[in-house]
Structure formats: C-alpha cells, structure tokens
Amino acid sequence: MFKRSILRQLQDWKAKPDRKPLILRGARQVGKTTAVQLFSSAYDQFIPLNLEKPEEARLFSRELATRDLFQAILFQKGLPSIEGQVLLFLDEVQNSPEAVRSLRYFHEDLPHIQVIAAGSLLEIALTQKQIGVPVGRVEYALMHPLSFREFLEAAGETQALEALDIMPAPAFALPRLMELFHRYALVGGMPEVVARYAEKRDAVALEPIYRSLWTSFLDDIPKYARNETMKRVIRHCLEAAPLEAGGRIKFAGFGKSNYRSREAGESLRTLEQAMLVHLLYPTTSTEIPLAPDRKKSPKLLFLDIGLVNFSAGLQGHYFEYPDLHSFYRGRIAEMIVGQEIIATDQEHHKPVFWVREKSQAPAEVDFVLQHGSHAVPVEVKAGAKGTLKSLHQFITRCPHGYAVRLYAGPLETVRTKTPEGKPFTLLNLPYCLAGSLRAYARRLVENDGAPRAGFE
C-alpha cells in the first residue's frame, strides 16, 4: 500500500465544514478501495460496507429511516455504538440504487457521519438502472491509474521525486527523470502492477498481473451489455481498443470489424462510461471556449499505457529504443502524455486536440490547453528537430504567441517565428515533465519567457 494523490483531495474534503457525501469514481482496479482504507486512519471509527455482498446490500433495500438504517448498519457490523469521527464507506455502491439515494438523507439527517461511496461501474448503473443521484447533495472525486509522480513515490525514488517538484526542473536531474519516465511508460500506472514492480524491479514478472487485470475487464462485460449481441460488440471493442489507441478512429468498422457505426459507437461510449477508454474530440477553434466538435472523428486513449503495451506486445521495444516516439508509429509518447494530462487535471476536464481539415493543408495539434484567456497548443514530437507545421498553422490563426512541444530533449524556451513571420515563444518540455504541463504553460504565459537556454 502506497500513498496516492487522491488522499490530499480526501483530506481537503474532510476538513470542509459543509462537506457532503463523496462519490469516488474510477475504473476497476485503479485503487479506490485501498485509498479509502488508507484515508480511514484519520478517523476514530471506520465502517466499510461492500454492497456486492447481498446481506450488506439488503440493509438499504428495507427503506428504513436514516437513523434506523445507520443503527442497522452498526448491528450488522457488530458495533454497539460510535465514538469520535466516523467514516462510513459504501463500496461497489452501484449494486444498490437505494444506497445511492440514501446519500441525500445521510447529508440531511446525519451530517456528522462522513460518507464515501465508490463504484467501478457506477456511471453505467446510473444509466441502465435509472438510478437518481441526489443532485446538490453529493460531491465527486475521480481516480486514475498512478501518475508519474505517484509512480516515483511508490518506487521509492525520493531524489527523483524531489527534483520533479522543483520548478524549473534542474538540468542535472533530467537524464535520470527521463530514464524513470521511460520505465513508467513501460510499466504503466495500475496499482497492483506498480506494487509488484516496486518490490521485484522485474518487468517480465508483471505479465501475470496484466493478464489478470485484462481478464477482470472482460469478465465485467456481462454486467453492462444489454444483450448478447452487445456483449460481442463490446468485447471486440475492448480487445481492439489498445491496438487502436493513440490515433483518431472511426466507429464504423472499428478494429477491422464489420460492425456498424451505431453498434461500435455505443460500445465504445459504454467502455468510456466504465472509464476503460477516453474518447477525445477535436476543436476547430484557436480561441476559448474550446468546444469539442462531436461530429468529427475522436481520438482514442486507453485507460493505462502498461495495459496497452501488454495487449500490443510492445514491452520489448522499450529496451531497444531510447526515445518513446521511435516505435509503434509514434503513438506511445502521445498516449503517455495524454494519460498524464488526464491524471493530473484537478478539474477533470477532458482534453481536446485541434484540427484543420482542409484538403490542401490539413493540420492536427495533439492537445490544446486553456490557460486564462489563452488556448495553448501542445505538440508531442520526436527529438529537437521534428517539424511543427500543424503547430505553426495554429499559432498563425490564434491571437497570442505561446506554444509547447513535448519531446526527448532539454528544457528550454526559444523565441521563433512561423513560416508566415508571426513571432511566438516555444517551450520545449521533456516528456518526463508532462504531469506539470499546466504549471509550465502557466509560467510560460505569465512570464512571457524570453529566448534562452533553460527555463528560469
């Protein structure tokens, strides 16, 4: 068991005088239950309920008044009374619509009892079972696989972690950080995998865990497929998703199938509800608001880069190539950067990318981040000399002059120009700092970085 960044959010929630019951969301096996167990040490009493157990789910189906319900829970758990601060944890809450509805009444009738609910398939259950979440009576937090920062902490890389927290990152530490980021991109961020890697430092020994995780995802399909046909389509989409990840997709014929757009689209959106995939849609705007255009083809990201490597048989390539952009059609670097952006976004905004779909001059920028009134383009490129044609097109059309390139080179800012002559400031950011991308972009815009080696 190792610390997760979500613990800071849980501590902030606990300290709020007007806190509401918290729903902790996230895919299966990302560590929700373990995180709550760790967090429970801050309380005098911890009362966990697993609503996959019929006897514990039945407590809520009796429709008792809230105070009577809580007394029934205490009786079920063999607790004669409560003392001090109490945390009630409703795990796998999607199995009980009544438990979801009860969150409102805990807030209203027993505000001194702090309640966290969690569920891996909650979004699917809310839709299919038409469960009503008490709007305005609950709060939300979201968990992802481990970020690079969490990976370093779990692996005991204290010096690297300290260097990562310095801004700007010291030049002497970047080679080691890049080496560790490369290993993170191989292992991924699923907690059980990272725990085994931290113990054994043997990537080969991780295969049975990947296989077990993958089997658990496949075994979940009957829980959210509405009929036998959709079971087959969802299974195909799940098996094909890691192989298609990192690029734009079309629903029709997804994964070299004969499935129609409606079938594959519904299946992929269901997998997105299960938080196993992310569908990122493009924007055509170079200014805020960055509204995604859902009529255009989305880009597919998978839950975890380690599972992508396992599914696609890519592990061996990590020992052959020093640059993440050197294999698998350059998608690995973009996928791991996307995973970092998603995992470290406290506002839980889904990132967008930019497209200009003109027959004579098409363009695509990997990500666009909003900072204040600026839409900042972010390209993931190979080396220090990769072409920036799409980024130049974006800069030419946008009202500011700031851009970021993530790559396998040094940290620096340079003043440069587009081919049309528009000056702009380019931040060259090593891949390993992707988790701090928003902070570096903010610093770039607010400091209006002058041309220099390094980023002071």
Distance CA 361, CA 104 (A): 54
CA 27 to chain centre: 9
Domain ranges of the chain: 6-142, 148-199, 208-447
The predicted-structure confidence for 148-203, as pLDDT tens digits, reads as follows 999 999 999 999 999 999 999 999 999 999 999 989 998 999 999 999 999 988 88
What confidence category does residue 204 fall into, taking pLDDT thresholds of 50, 70 and 90?
Answer: confident
Distance CA 91, CA 120 (A): 9
User: For residue 382, what pLDDT is reported?
Assistant: 58
Q: What pLDDT score does 90 carry?
A: 97
Helix, coil or strand: residue 193: helix
CA distance 184 to 172: 20
According to the model, what pLDDT value does residue 456 have? 47
E strands, 268-394, in order: 277-280, 282-283, 299-302, 352-356, 363-371, 374-380
How many Å apart are CA 355 and CA 439, to the nearest integer? 24
The pLDDT value given to residue 452: 46
CA distance 26 to 118: 8
Tell me what percent of the residues of the chain surpass a pLDDT of 90.
73
SS3 446: helix
More confident residue, 263 or 82: 263
CB burial of 18-52 (b: ≥16 within 10 Å; e: otherwise) equals: eebbbbbbbbbbbbbbebbebbbeeeebbbbbebe
Contact 36, 16 (CB under 8 A): no
Mean pLDDT of the chain: 90
- pLDDT band for position 338 (50/70/90)? very high
Distances (CA, A) of 209 to 36, 182, 306, 311: 22, 20, 11, 12
> Alpha-carbon distance 441 to 437, whole Å?
6
What pairs with residue 248 in β-bridges?
299
Query: 102 pLDDT band (50/70/90 cuts)?
Result: very high
220 sits in the region (left: phi over 0; alpha: psi -120 to 50; else beta) called alpha
Give 125-128's long-range contacts (Cβ < 8 A, gap of 24+).
125/94, 125/95, 125/97, 126/94, 126/100, 127/273, 128/224, 128/226
Structure tokens at 135: 């709007």
Given this model, what pLDDT does residue 323 score?
58
Indicate if the pLDDT at residue 449 is higher than 60: no
Low-confidence winner among 82-96, 195-209, 326-340, 346-360 (lowest mean pLDDT):
326-340
- Tokens 């800071």 found at: 8
Q: Taking 90 as the threshold, does the pLDDT of residue 322 lie above it?
A: no
pLDDT at 49 over 50: yes
What's residue 71's pLDDT?
95
pLDDT score at 451: 38
Distance (Å, rounded) from C-alpha 181 to C-alpha 249? Answer: 27
The C-alpha angle with vertex 305 and arms to 304 and 308, in degrees rounded to 5, equals: 95
- Coil, strand, or helix at residue 154? helix
pLDDT tens for 20-41 read 999 999 999 999 999 999 999 9
CA distance 185 to 183: 5
* Residue 202 pLDDT: 84
The pLDDT, as a whole number, for residue 172 is 96
Query: Given pLDDT bands bounded at 50, 70 and 90, which one contains residue 328?
Result: low
CA torsion 368-370-376-378 (nearest 10°) is -40
CATH of 6-142 among 1.10.4160.10, 3.50.50.60, 3.40.50.300, 3.40.50.1010: 3.40.50.300
Q: Is the pLDDT of residue 377 over 70?
A: yes
Cβ–Cβ < 8 Å for 192, 149: no
Q: Give the model's pLDDT for residue 447.
A: 81
